[in-house]
Amino acid sequence: MTVTCLGCGCACDDVEVGVSAGRIESVAPPCPLARAWFGTGQVPDRVLVGGRT
């Protein structure tokens, strides 16, 4: 899937992200900032603000 990366502020909109089993497996082109930005794609199922949902 093609996504926009905001890892460095350039807003590259040609980043291809490969997803398998709900996890990001690949990022192309191989930009270290994009890889750090997207990580594994795992996010918590809820977000706490001030300790509350």
Q: Average the pLDDT over 17-31 and give the result.
A: 86
Residue 43's pLDDT is 58
- What DSSP string runs through 1-53? -EEEE-SSSS-EEEEEEEEETTEEEEEES--HHHHHHHTT----SS--BTTB-
Residue 31: is it exposed, middle or buried by C-beta count within 10 angstroms (0-12/13-18/19+)? middle
Residue 34's pLDDT is 85
Q: Average the pLDDT over 7-23 and give the result.
A: 88
> At 45, is the pLDDT very low, low, confident or very high (cuts 50, 70, 90)?
low
Residue 28's pLDDT is 92
Cα–Cα distance for residue pair 34/30, rounded to 1 Å: 8
Whole-model pTM: value is 0.58
Residue 42's pLDDT is 63
Nearest alpha-carbon partner for 17 in 37, 44, 45: 37
